[in-house]
Structure 1
């Protein structure tokens, strides 16, 4: 039909129909966009959700009566695990326990603590019995976990002046006791692989600066000490012997340099999880070139990864400075895990995009995985 012969009413009617069709199309487009936005909101957290989400930092060391870090944790919706450790420069483990219990009593919903063992008298005939007695007392007071430190393998020697590794039979009854009492064993064994590399081959600036300033701890310069591989092998052997113990490898189990290597251990040892304390930059380093691999690793092993920082708060540190550092670190890490924004951090060269993990994964790595392994235990 030639449009020249259309009547005015017909033209107006057609215009009306076209208008209705366009409105329906616009409404459908708006509905689709709304649905997508709603789905995204249900699937992912935003940066603004930081303080709304329950979180757990499972690796801090509070060696002071000052509750500043705990108060910042309250403000940022964190629970804390303060870990006693048999390390130089720290108070004796009995004093660390006293301080921890003081905070647990004052803030029972905000903080828990992990006890530790001392290897000071490791070669004495009664060392095992005394260590188990100390752990028994710690458990009665509410300790939810036990920390083994890197002096095992890096400092401790036997009667023949040989380095003692964590798979030494002397530790077997200690680990069995921890398992029987349904506590978690946290172990910092070895160091980052960078420790055994020349400085120009290291991956993150923090390691480069630290070992440049502390050559006595730079194992590349000390071949008389156990190798990186020996530490990993000893830890793996210990887990083979104690497949029933709930184990958390501190600092990504010293496998921070490769998500592939870490995945191999998580596949091999079902009782193993790892905390991220002081090792998140290593994920970020790998994300510069292989973001999707790192993101896929988090998704696949979402039940085995635990958020942690390794904050140290002692009497010589200013409370306000500690609170500021904690908030900035917690916020920056949240941005890495919850968003896909482009980021840079002082620890590494180059930029990377955040992992933008789903709410389900975030809830696990920030809280649920920790709750399973460090749930509160009521003192007897």
Structure 2
């Protein structure tokens, strides 16, 4: 009799456990259905015409509908024609940014002519943005040897043209803080700098990290009718507060997250979650992926050439950071730093904007 009671009790307990487990599972499923990721817009890429087939394969493998190519070239280097051909080879899937011809910088009418060329790129070739690389402020010099500063008034006609044409200016100002520190073993990006020693801006007559960002901010402030996208998390992933201040102050300012998940992912997960929720209408998804026929660059590059399978892992690492609450996970670009990051689990409506809707609204509104 006693055994029967014990068995009955065991059955009852197991039944309750199963019932409660099923109930919790049903409630969890009702509360948070699996996130259905939209077809992506990677709003920051570098693409080569001769790799069209590979580009399409990587896009299809990772459910990317559109890539915005930062390396569209210009009339002087002939790149604009190749970019246009690539755009035509994958219609509706690749759009290009115009890159100024800095070889002409000493010409008195440099900005005026570049503004005309920009308009031609937009109206005749279907380009959708202007890209300013870190060359401005770090590499471009007048014949006298003087660096051309980001906020040089000579460039104002170019920024004004972008505003008039209603296209955004993607601006890369400076580089990671670590690149302005001694490139020795104490530098946390030493491995990366060892592979790319020319990325070190320590010493010499290089401007400081702060000076470059201050100059960029002056340009944003001076041209409120022009949309500026501060690439690489506003070029200041080390200081989210600085990025937030600019987003609060300038309605014409936006950012992308390209190649900086490892850096801003180091900050407190709750802090970054709240940042992305607050500025959900101002942030674009981008990866800085570089695709050529022989090489892949996944946010940065090391001594080994990544594979297309590595590209899948690269994108999945981004998704894991934004979509889950996992802790101490690998970031997308190991060479950028030997540390783990904590994911931020953004709401579906925020993810939809960052992954796609913001780029449609800000970059592709003039698509041909």
Shared fold by TM > 0.5?
Answer: yes
SS at match of 1:112: strand
1:221 positional shift: 3.2
Q: Could you tell me how far apart the structure 2 residues matched to 1:335 and 1:112 are?
A: 27
Q: 2:98–2:118: 8 Å Cα contact kept in structure 1?
A: yes
1:120 aligns to 2:96 (yes or no): no
Q: 2:49–2:85: 8 Å Cα contact kept in structure 1?
A: no
In structure 2, the gaps of 5 or more residues are 1-11, 298-304
How many pairs does the alignment contain? 342
Which protein has the bigger helix share?
1
1:32 positional shift: 6.6
**1:1-380 → structure 2 map (5 Å cutoff):** 34-41=26-33, 45=35, 49=36, 52-67=37-52, 68-78=54-64, 79-84=66-71, 94-140=77-123, 141-158=125-142, 160-199=144-183, 202-203=187-188, 207-222=189-204, 224-286=205-267, 290-317=268-295, 323-342=308-327, 343-345=329-331, 346=334, 347-375=336-364, 377-379=366-368
- 1:281-336 CA-to-partner distances (Å, cap 9, x unmatched) read 102222xxx22111111111111121111112234437995533322211111111
Structure 1 stretches (4+) deviating beyond 6 angstroms?
A: 26-29
Q: 1:69–1:326: 8 Å Cα contact kept in structure 2?
A: no
Q: Could you tell me how far apart the structure 1 residues matched to 2:193 and 2:132 are?
A: 23
Q: 2:38–2:356: 8 Å Cα contact kept in structure 1?
A: no
Q: Could you tell me how far apart the structure 1 residues matched to 2:352 and 2:110 are?
A: 41
Q: Could you tell me how far apart the structure 2 residues matched to 1:210 and 1:313 are?
A: 19
**TM-score, length-scaled by structure 2:** 0.83
Q: Could you tell me how far apart the structure 1 residues matched to 2:23 and 2:196 are?
A: 61
Q: 1:350 to 1:227 in 2, by over 3 A?
A: closer
RMSD: 2.9
Which has the higher Rg, Structure 1 or Structure 2? Answer: 1
Aligned equivalent of 1:16: none
1:30 positional shift: 5.7
Q: Could you tell me how far apart the structure 2 residues matched to 1:32 and 1:252 are?
A: 39
Q: 2:317–2:330: 8 Å Cα contact kept in structure 1?
A: no
1:29 positional shift: 8.7
Q: 1:311 to 1:28 in 2, by over 3 A?
A: closer
Q: 1:376 to 1:142 in 2, by over 3 A?
A: farther
Structure showing greater relative contact order (alpha-carbon pairs closer than 8 Å, 6 or more residues apart): 1
Q: 1:177 to 1:92 in 2, by over 3 A?
A: closer
Q: 1:69 to 1:225 in 2, by over 3 A?
A: same
In structure 1, the gaps of 5 or more residues are 1-18
**TM-score, length-scaled by structure 1:** 0.81
